[in-house]
Structure 1
Amino acid sequence: MKLFVGLDVSSFDIKVCFLNGEGDKLNAFTVSNDLPGAKQLRDEILNSTQNQSVSELRIGLESTSVYSFHQSMFLHNDESIRALDGQVLVMNPKQIANFKKSYSDMDKTDEIDAFVIADYLRFGCLPMSVVKEEQYVALQQLTRARYSIVRQITQEKQRFLQYLSYKCNTFTEEVESSVFGKAMMDLFLENYSLEELSRMPLEELVDYLRLKGKNRFPDPKHVAKSIQKAVRSSYRLDKVVEDSIDTILGTSITLIRTFEKQKQEIDKSIKRIMKGIPQTLQTVPGIGPVFTPGIIAEIGQIEQFDDETKIAKYAGLYWRKHQSGRFTADETSLTRNGNQYLRYYLVEAANSVKKEIPEYGEYYAKKFKEVLKHQHKRALVLTARKFVRLVDALLRKNQIYTPKRSVNI
């Protein structure tokens, strides 16, 4: 017996459809989206397979973030489902929507969507992902949270620089030190006016920078001079405007520091989880402790991918062909499908690795010279695609990267 279970999940209930291997509907019902509902669903699956030899059991649902998480993990970890070799699979909603177009005159209802998901499972060869084990799920939540926080830090720093240009429009040009260092941030929090900074005795400003910077400035006097030069050459604001800008800068500094502290806490949790996941990916020069967890979290169990081409496709690192008759397009765009997080980590890691490993640096340079448009972007994505082969080999064989004895990829 083959059983395909399609689940259409909403915040309050789950529409369920059972299909057999021939596509016949065996059952259709609704359960609540909570633990009792999940147990009821599990029991219905077991009842349908009772006293029968199950050759294939697949349970599928769309990847809808928090709505689908609990059901997928419950069924994935259930011992009775595992005893039947049941697989819980998640699918991209776009792929389900495209698959549904193959049916003519089909309405949009949750019951019908559950049927379409079950039928999608029946075809088997279509793109799907196995639910990750708990440690990969936990790592993925942390790495994605870190990704979001880093983006927020970047956006907030851009906003800070924008308002800093209101207060002192020549600061970033004249001052040869990062405006985001602790000493500089503390200086902005003091709410000094430009006039106060310009009239401040130089030695007093030097002592302030030395104290707040914990003697890390190689030449605090030079930095102090550049600050006073910047404030003296900048436009002056009306006091009411300058006060409002000081308030915004202070708020921005507080946000940046809060985000940085959150990132540090997440990094500690990532490090703890990574200690329990065997991997050799971080032995690759340049990949580091940020990209490694991100790649591993998104890939999960390497065994769910047949080969490196499936990983590349999952990440969206492939190009659609554009061919008609004898015409084949020379320029095609990178697909917009795939896991955006995995694609980000692979591309950023490749950008770092190409600086450390000559083989990847030479490959990037070769691809850069092949075209006249989009040179860097194209060469970097192609280098990331090449890097996928190395990632697959190291994770699948659990071997350490050795440049002299290259991995068989």
Structure 2
Amino acid sequence: MISVGIDVSKGKSTVCIMKPGGEVLSAPFEITHTKSELLDLINIIKSQNEEVRVVMEDTGHYHLPVATLLVDNDIFVCSVNALRMKKYCSQSIRRAKTDKIDSVHIASYGIAYWNELQPIPCSDDIYKELQLLARQYYQSVALLVKAKVNFSNLLDRVMPNIQSIITDNSSNSKLTDFVARYWHFSRILEMGEKRFISDYCKWAKKKGYRMCERNAKEIFASAQNGIPVLPSSQSTKIVITEAVRVIHELESSRDTILAQMQSFAKTLPEYSVVREMPCIGDVLAPRIIAEIGDVRRFKNKHSLIAYAGIDAPPYQSGSFNATERHISKRGNSYLRKTGYEIMQSLIKHKPENDSVYDFIVKKRCEGKCAKEVMIAGLNKFLRVYYGKVTELYDNLEYCNLTA
């Protein structure tokens, strides 16, 4: 057996080829992530007369071009968790670290854990695209939150208290549209009360907002009593209008990504099953499917729970046996976030005859704190999810066999 250790960096990698007993067949050498040099590496691997397994560290996305080309050429590739590889490489007493040394350690890891190496799973393209879209969705949401915080700070300096007068729980479009039109209290005062009320009512009617003359009077009174900090200048106008434009652009981007996620998710068999689960709508359904992926890749429900990072590994030494353990948090943080939102939805809507919500109520009655209740509920939800979706695929496989 031959282990090929690849220490992946951005745009280049260091390769070491090793046999059992620490025999180095090829001293560490560098290759760039170009098709020509990777094909040369593939030829070297295929020229070996023994079974060859390639081992590399999971680096997020830097290793993907290398892994993809190797897998496409029918080469066994194993991607090892970065934390596990770090602990293995740090066993040496001397803390020397170079790319060449790391490649030797990675190749050595392949020899030491030869029978435990698992090839990179080949997941469905739909799941890959769903996860890609989900990552961009979270990125858009994070940027949108920052943009709204910045917008709120600016409003406190040009239109104090306006956010308490114009509110919209579903979106910020009502407030942003208003600010884009008037942008400063001094502009409202310059128009005068009668002209502002008339202009405001026409604008609201044109936009389709449920606003009346009473709202306009309240806004004008707030303009009279408010103390803007920023001047009514061209610079202030540019800053405010740009803040509004950024929010609209990010909201549009978020909605476009979510619509594509829904389109992909609806083609999967489990979508209907997930949508039938209480308190999971058109937004949460594609997100939870994107984070879990193909549930058949998990050998059991405990593997899915561990993947989410909400498992509590046992800790025992001698006569001591820990009974209260924190969750590991070594898993998919996006899955935990989405699951937390599902738990919030269940607690808010209180669905009847739902096993997950009943379990949450049970844990509350036992005196568990809010955090423990949420984690216990998510644990139960993932077990239910695993059971329903695996049953669906088992039935589909049975129908295909009997057809």
TM-score normalised to the size of structure 2?
Answer: 0.81
Among candidates 68, 83, 88, match of residue 99 of structure 1: 88
- Residues 193 and 162 of structure 1: is their aligned pair in 2 closer, same or farther, counting only changes over 3 Å? closer
CA deviation map 1:254-301 (0-9, x unaligned): 111111121222223323433444324333232233333333333333
CA deviation map 1:311-334 (0-9, x unaligned): 222221123545555555565433
SS of the aligned residue for 1:60 comes to strand
Task: Tell me what 1:31 maps to.
Answer: 31
8 Å CA contact 1:132–1:301 kept in 2: the answer is: yes
8 Å CA contact 1:9–1:33 kept in 2: the answer is: no
Seq. identity, %: 23
Question: CA shift at 1:344, angstroms?
Answer: 1.9
Name the aligned partner's letter for residue 107 of structure 1: A
Cα distance in 1 for partners of 2:119, 2:309 equals 14
SS of the aligned residue for 1:259 comes to helix
- Residues 73 and 194 of structure 1: is their aligned pair in 2 closer, same or farther, counting only changes over 3 Å? same
8 Å CA contact 1:316–1:337 kept in 2: the answer is: yes
| 1:10 pairs with 2:9 | yes
Among candidates 284, 291, 294, match of residue 291 of structure 1: 284
Name the aligned partner's letter for residue 225 of structure 2: S
Among candidates 358, 374, 380, match of residue 362 of structure 1: 358
Name the aligned partner's letter for residue 310 of structure 1: S
- Residues 178 and 165 of structure 1: is their aligned pair in 2 closer, same or farther, counting only changes over 3 Å? farther
- Residues 346 and 237 of structure 1: is their aligned pair in 2 closer, same or farther, counting only changes over 3 Å? closer
8 Å CA contact 2:230–2:236 kept in 1: the answer is: no
Task: Tell me what 1:234 maps to.
Answer: 226
Among candidates 340, 360, 382, match of residue 388 of structure 1: 382
Q: What runs of 5+ residues in structure 1 fail to find an aligned partner?
A: 401-409
| 1:221 pairs with 2:213 | yes
Task: Tell me what 1:405 maps to.
Answer: none
Name the aligned partner's letter for residue 366 of structure 1: K
8 Å CA contact 1:7–1:59 kept in 2: the answer is: yes
Cα RMSD between the aligned structures?
3.3
Question: CA shift at 1:110, angstroms?
Answer: 1.7
Cα distance in 2 for partners of 1:237, 1:6 equals 61
Question: CA shift at 1:58, angstroms?
Answer: 4.1
SS of the aligned residue for 1:66 comes to coil
Cα distance in 2 for partners of 1:397, 1:63 equals 32
Question: CA shift at 1:188, angstroms?
Answer: 1.0
Cα distance in 1 for partners of 2:172, 2:383 equals 39
SS of the aligned residue for 1:30 comes to strand
Task: Tell me what 1:69 maps to.
Answer: 64
Cα distance in 2 for partners of 1:68, 1:254 equals 37
Question: CA shift at 1:153, angstroms?
Answer: 0.7
Q: What runs of 5+ residues in structure 2 fail to find an aligned partner?
A: 395-403
Greater CA drift, 17-26 or 314-323: 17-26
Cα distance in 2 for partners of 1:288, 1:129 equals 32
TM-score normalised to the size of structure 1?
Answer: 0.80
Name the aligned partner's letter for residue 363 of structure 1: F
Cα distance in 2 for partners of 1:236, 1:204 equals 22
Task: Tell me what 2:79 maps to.
Answer: 90
Cα distance in 2 for partners of 1:236, 1:125 equals 66
Q: What is the count of residue pairs matched by the alignment?
A: 383
